[in-house]
Amino acid sequence: MSAPLADLRIVAVEQFGAGPFGTLQLADLGAEVIKIEDPESGGDVSRSIPPYQDGEDSLFFETFNRGKKSVSLDLRGEDGRRVFEALVRRSDAVFSNLRGDGAQKLGLTYAALGEINPAIVCCSLSGYGNTGPRRAEGAYDHVIQGLAGWMSLTGGPDDPPMKSGLSLVDFAGGYVAALAIVAAVWRARRDGVGGDCDLSLFETALALLTYQGTWVASRGYEPQRLANSAHQSIVPFQAFATADGWLMVACAKEKFWVRLLEVLGRDDLAADPRFADFEARREHRELVQAELGAEFVKRPTDAWADALREAGIPAQPVNDVAAALSDPQALARKAIAEYEHETLGTVRLPASPLRVPGGPVPATRGPFRGEHTEEMLNEVRDRAPRPED
């Protein structure tokens, strides 16, 4: 069975996290991703990010660039531009993650490339998009988390503004870009005409506010930062301290609340009108937390987790990263990929979650800088249009 995107070719002017993560999703599904790296700047800056970095190879780079090709091209030079345009003629999309005005300055837009390939899709993922007062400003994940309101939601009531533990704006932006590229290429193949995708990390972050954004925009709701990672409206739905760690418990349905009281041996709480339904428990959040918290500290995490799972209640230990990667479910699903790298040795990393027919493709190492330059130059020479064409 062929990979789902085996007939898709992407030329990517990308670096660091958000952009490479987006095209990684396509590469994992079999797309040919040709990564353009500037010889003057040493290529993708993530090649030199520590720790676990040796020369131009790093585990950070491997995380986002496995299975891709690398071509060294100076897009500002005449020769580099000529090769780039030849690649565009034979590609489905040109992707970039630069500042909002960067794609236009480098000629990576449909206005610059549409005459070369009318069906080309030009996808730009920038901090703020190609319009608006911030379009030329640089942006990083944590900066966007602050601007988009995320840091006002994360952490406990008395904590300073706090970012997510992961670069979730970057990664969500990558997923948005991958979806946009696939949708735009589908349209281009159907209609014969490409165009521009103008995506931004800021709007991605705003979209991910989801129901809290809706509550605020529609009713002036004021979100609160709650202790122990508690849900804004559902109680109990949070982390509880146990005798030896922490446990995440999610009673998102009334039946889970009833079962939880049975497991805890607290049938007395079932008859208490202060805990009768979602709204009552939300109004008496602190009391619910106190009653349950006093029970959970009596036994170890694993004992509680086993008992709650047996009762059909969504509950799991709060793991560190090492424990998460070695969880029996991760091992059973082969969620950790592994390959050998000439410089870095054995590389083990989270595998693609895209379990679809024909994909994901087996993980292979990321490209050395410029590794596929000669291959692409030979293709350009072999398929160069004849003068009469």
Residues classed as catalytic: 231
What is the per-residue DSSP string for 8-20? -EEEEE--TTHHH
DSSP structural state of residue 332: H
Secondary structure of residue 208 in the 3-state scheme:
coil
* Tokens 């979806």 found at: 179
Residue ranges in the chain assigned as alpha helix (H)? 18-28, 59-65, 78-89, 102-105, 110-113, 141-147, 168-191, 201-207, 210-219, 254-264, 267-270, 278-283, 285-296, 301-310, 321-325, 328-332, 373-382
Exposure b/e, 173-182, CB count within 10 A at least 16 = b: bbebbbebbb
**Residue 265 Cα to chain centre, angstroms:** 41
CA 368, CA 212: separation in Å to the nearest integer? 44
